[in-house]
Each structure stands twice: as C-alpha cells, then as structure tokens.
Structure 1
Amino acid sequence: MTTDNKAPKTIGFIGLGVMGEPMCRNLAVRRNDIGAPRMIAYDLDNDRLKRVTAQGVEAALSLAELANQSDLILMSLPGGKQVEETCNAANGVFAHVKSGATIIDLGTTPVDLTRSLAEKFASKNVGYMDAPVARTRQAAEQGTLAISVGGAEDVFAKVEPILNCFATDITYCGGSGSGQMVKILNNMILFETVAALAEALSVARKSGMDGEILFKALANGSADSFALRNHGMKALLPGEFPEKAFSTLYATKDLEYALDLAKSAGVTMPGAENVRQLFEKAAEQGYGENYWPVVAKVLDKPEDPPQE
C-alpha cells in the first residue's frame, strides 16, 4: 500500500470537542505553512463549526462530503464506538475516502479496532495512523500536546509536519496500534498514580496533617511526579472536580481499553482493577460526569459498618 507523498491540498477534520476544536484552529492557522491551502470540518454541533469557520475552515454538510474532498482526514472523537461508526457507516469515511488519502485517529481507540481499521483502509490504498494526543485542553489551545504515533513509518514521515501544528512532543512508536498502546497504558499509569495520591491525602488529613504540606514534601522526594504537581495539587488538594472536563465515565472507558489489552496479552493487572472499582463507585455515587480525580470523594466517604 502506498500513499501520495505530496502535501495534502485539502485537510478534513472530524470532531470539534474539547480537544478537537483547538487542534483544528491551530492547524487552520498554520495550514499554509505545510502547503495545505484548504480545510474542511464536520461536527454535529453547528456552534462549534461556526467558531472554526472564523479561521477560514469550511463546514462540511456530511461525512461523505468531507471524505470525498479530503487528501488527509483527522478524527478527534470520544472513543472506539464513535470511531467505528464514523469509519464504517454507510455514508461514512470508508465508503467515500479517496485512494491515496491518509487518515489520522487522534483519539483513544482500542488496539484491536485500530488494527482492523488500518487493514480495511489499506484495501483502498489509504494510510491509517493511530496518533492519540495526551496532555490537557490548555495544551491543545497552546499547541503543546504530546502524541504517540503508530502505523507505517513512511506515512509517519509524511504526516509529522501536520502533527507539529498542534503538538511539541511526537514519538513514533512502531506499527499499527502501537500509538494507542502507549496512550492507553499512559492513562492507566496516571489513573493508578492519582488514586494512590488520593489515598495518601485522605489518610494524612484524617490523621491530623495538612494536605498541602504533605504534597509539597512529596514533591521534594521520590514520590514527585507530573500527577502530583497537576492532578494532585490542582484537583485533589482544592477538591475541584468540575463537569465538562475529562470525566469519570471517559476515564473508565480508557481504563477498560487497558484491561482488555492486558487480557489479550495474558497479563493480570490488579492495580488497574482496583481503580476500575473506584471509578464504578464514583459513578454510582453520582460523580460520573465529574473530572475523574473525584475518586477522592469515594475514598473519603466512610465505609458502611459490617452487618451483624
């Protein structure tokens, strides 16, 4: 399978959510630098489409229209279900994509689905890259995301300049699915680390210690981490777990992807299983839409006394 090595003349962007909209805007601002004079976008929310048209992005009326006109298609969607529907629907991307085009999945998608789609699109001479983004919405706004990329190395060389428009740290990880592996396992490690921080904070506070002092001391020792300085100090300490952020339900989805990957590899992950139970309890207690470090509230809640 080969793809056209020329710079894409038309870039299509699907999904203008929390991360997708700022990525689309950053790409639109720099599209001429990479030789792509035209951009079109598709989203179910017309308000989001109107905002990106201010950057000269055209609004597509359908997935079919976008796929038919784009040399390069980027997808920023909530999860594997949405990616599969977008690609495989009767009027979706696969049915209308042009031979020689390239597709980049910027979201978090199961590895097996990623590999299946890559094989399917290869049958139409279309390159398919998994390039899930990491870091925060602020990083998306500033164009400083981190991206792990999987897929054919020659296609990676072609799309790297596009990814540079909204990311500062891009790592080629290997063949199809390897970018998703890195992202999924990264999230799993982050979830477990923050759960440990929430446990430590709960124990310290209930034992009479100031949580801020605890975290400052940990930051000076071997327990220091990105999770401590960001999720710990900015969410756990002040108890700020807003909605319309990366929710407990979304985090549960990503953790399930990690557990499924482990199962297929014949590996047990008791730490991840424990965090899944915390996420499930948080959702049961009404925190499903809250920023996922809200699991701290589950840990702070007293256990029901045993029945006699």
Structure 2
Amino acid sequence: MKIGFIGTGVMGKSIVLHLLKEHPVHIFTRTKQKAEELISHGAVWEDTPASLASECRLIFTMVGYSEDVQQVYSGENGIFNAASEGTICVDLTTSKPGLAIDLFEKGKDKGIHMIDAPVSGGDTGAKNGTLSIMTGGEEAVFEQILPVLELFGSNIVYHGEAGSGQHTKMSNQIVIGSTMMGVCEALTYAVKSGLDPEKVLASISQGAAGSWSLSHLAPRILKGDYEPGFYIHHFIKDLKIALEESKRMGLALPGLELALKSYEQAQTIGLSEKGTQALFKVYEDQM
C-alpha cells in the first residue's frame, strides 16, 4: 500500500521509519531539509499536500496546531482538493474535537474517510512503535487501517464517532498536566530536604505514586535533559483546548487550570521549545 505522511517532526519521523518497513511512503513537510534523512531511507518527497494526496490512498497527517490541520486539508493545495474518492485520511495531530467533526463531514461530502487518531507516548513511544492511539470515526474504516496503525502503536482503541479520539486525548493531557506538576514538586521537595533524588525516584516510582511521567521523564529531569519528546508550546495548545472544551460542557477543572498556568509560566522563561519535563526549571529557584 502506498502511504502518504504529512508532518515529519519529532514523532512523525519515527512513525514514518516504522511505516517504511512495510510500505512505500510519500512525505511532505514544510521544510524539506528536515526530511532528508527519511528520503535517504527511501521515502518519496512531494512538493505539496495535494500532490501527495493524488498519489496515496491512505494519508496520515501530524502537524502542529488546529489551523495547520485546517490548511493541510482544506487549503489551496490541500488534501481535499486532490484526494480520490475512497481515500482514507488519519489525523494524528492533537486538535479541537469540533475540527475533527468538521473534517469528517467535509470528507464525507467528497467520498473521503476521516479518522481522528491523536497519539500519546512521546518520542520514546514513537521510536519504539509503542504509541497509544485514540481513534474516532467510522468503525469499519478503523478496522480497515488497524494493521497499519499496529506498525507504530501498541495500545490502539476505537472510541466512537468523529471527535471521540480528540476528546480522549484531552483526558490524557489533563492527567499529564497535573501529574507533571506532581513529579516536579516531588523532586523539588526531595532535593530541598537533603535526600538523594535518584534514591527517592527509585522508591516512589514503583509504589502507588508510579506513573509514565515519573518513570520516563523524571530520570531525564535528574540528568538535566530537557530536550523535547513533546514540546511545551504544543502542550500549552492542548491544555487550552481541554480547558475550552471543559467550559463548553460546563465543567470546572481547577487542576487543569493550574497546570495551564504553570506551563505558561515555563513559556515566559523561554522554555517553549523544550520538552514537558522542563517544567521542573520553574521550581529550581526554590532549591
């Protein structure tokens, strides 16, 4: 199967490498230079999303923001202007549930199937092919593409109609936001009290406090490694979507609001391009 992939960033690059093991892959990203490694591995470069869509019947997109998703699909050189009837498009971007529903309906009018499928697991999950993939759309279409999703995901769940995958990802980000605050505060407390944070981590990561963030990101913090598995500026985008959706549903989620404020504080001190674990630097002046 000839597969198209748009957006070869931190996670997209690793996903494409997994896909290339089984399928020919055509790629597009805004900066061709960043895709040179994938091209050297056999990926075929396309100049626009439209040219890619004219070649492929299964297309994945993984871009930054909701407006980027909108442009990739509905812009002048977008997918919807060139994709053939029966094409399946899978948006891996975390974006607004309402946008997923809108794209589903627009695609349906053109005979194009849309699946919203945001992922979780960061750069490590993408490299290892163990991402969690949360999907919404037509179940029959999901079943059709499941073997391809299994090339880069190990926990793949169908949640329901269009937008369901994005709503599930919001739940995921709400948990991560508060959990990362807890991880950073726990390590700050450990250091301030004179403990060896490595030993503290060894104790608490295997108990009731255990979490993915504590096991995978806390060790990076202790090594001073703040490089992105997932960018802070993208996480702020996600938390804002979650808060917007929560308010729309009449929910008061103070933990989510506090997490957003904390990450916005990290952004103000120049950490936008760092990984979510760099939130720890907000606490450093207390130690």
TM-score normalised according to structure 1 size: 0.87
Q: 2:90 matched to which residue of 1? A: 104
The answer as to whether partners of 1:13 and 1:39 remain within 8 angstroms in 2 is yes
Matched, 1:40 2:26: yes
Distance in 2 of aligned mates of 1:89 and 1:239? 41
Q: 1:25 matched to which residue of 2? A: 17
Q: CA deviation digits over 1:30-89, x for unaligned, max 9?
A: 12xxxxxx4321122223433223333321122221112221111111221211111111
Q: CA deviation digits over 1:179-202, x for unaligned, max 9?
A: 112222212201211101211222
Matched, 1:15 2:1: no
Q: Find the residue that maps to 2:95 and give its secondary structure.
A: coil
Matched, 1:297 2:281: yes
How far did 1:154 drift?
0.5
* Counterpart among 183, 198, 203 of residue 217 in structure 1: 203
Q: CA deviation digits over 1:224-258, x for unaligned, max 9?
A: 222211122x123333213x542221111111111
Distance in 1 of aligned mates of 2:248 and 2:194? 44
Matched, 1:181 2:173: no
Matched, 1:146 2:138: no
Distance in 2 of aligned mates of 1:66 and 1:60? 6
Matched, 1:76 2:55: no
Q: 1:238 matched to which residue of 2? A: 223
Where in structure 2 are there 5+ consecutive unaligned residues?
A: none
Max Rg structure: 1
Distance 1:210 1:253, change over 3 A: same
Q: Find the residue that maps to 1:141 and give its secondary structure.
A: helix
* Counterpart among 117, 122, 125 of residue 131 in structure 1: 117
Matched, 1:281 2:240: no
The answer as to whether partners of 1:195 and 1:293 remain within 8 angstroms in 2 is no
Q: Between Structure 1 and Structure 2, how many residues are aligned?
A: 287
Q: Find the residue that maps to 2:124 and give its secondary structure.
A: helix
1:57-68 to structure 2, matched below 5 A, reads 57-68=43-54
Distance in 2 of aligned mates of 1:25 and 1:287? 29
Q: 2:239 matched to which residue of 1? A: 255
Distance 1:214 1:121, change over 3 A: same
Q: Find the residue that maps to 1:30 and give its secondary structure.
A: coil
The answer as to whether partners of 2:58 and 2:87 remain within 8 angstroms in 1 is yes
Distance 1:113 1:138, change over 3 A: same
How far did 1:218 drift?
1.5
Q: CA deviation digits over 1:236-286, x for unaligned, max 9?
A: 3333213x5422211111111111121121111100111111111111122
- Comparing 91-100 with 49-58, which one deviates more in the overlay? 49-58
Where in structure 1 are there 5+ consecutive unaligned residues?
A: 1-8, 32-37, 304-308
Amino acid at match of 2:164: S
Distance 1:204 1:58, change over 3 A: closer
How far did 1:219 drift?
2.4
* Counterpart among 120, 125, 143 of residue 106 in structure 2: 120
Q: Find the residue that maps to 2:252 and give its secondary structure.
A: coil
Distance in 2 of aligned mates of 1:63 and 1:209? 53
Distance in 2 of aligned mates of 1:174 and 1:189? 21
1:159-174 to structure 2, matched below 5 A, reads 159-174=145-160
Amino acid at match of 1:175: E
Q: Find the residue that maps to 1:19 and give its secondary structure.
A: helix
Runs of 4+ in 1 over 6 A off after TM superposition: none
Measured on the aligned residues, the alpha-carbon RMSD in Å equals 1.8
Distance in 2 of aligned mates of 1:52 and 1:209? 45
The answer as to whether partners of 2:177 and 2:260 remain within 8 angstroms in 1 is no
Distance in 2 of aligned mates of 1:162 and 1:262? 32
Amino acid at match of 1:13: F
Amino acid at match of 1:69: E
The answer as to whether partners of 2:80 and 2:107 remain within 8 angstroms in 1 is yes
Distance in 1 of aligned mates of 2:46 and 2:207? 52
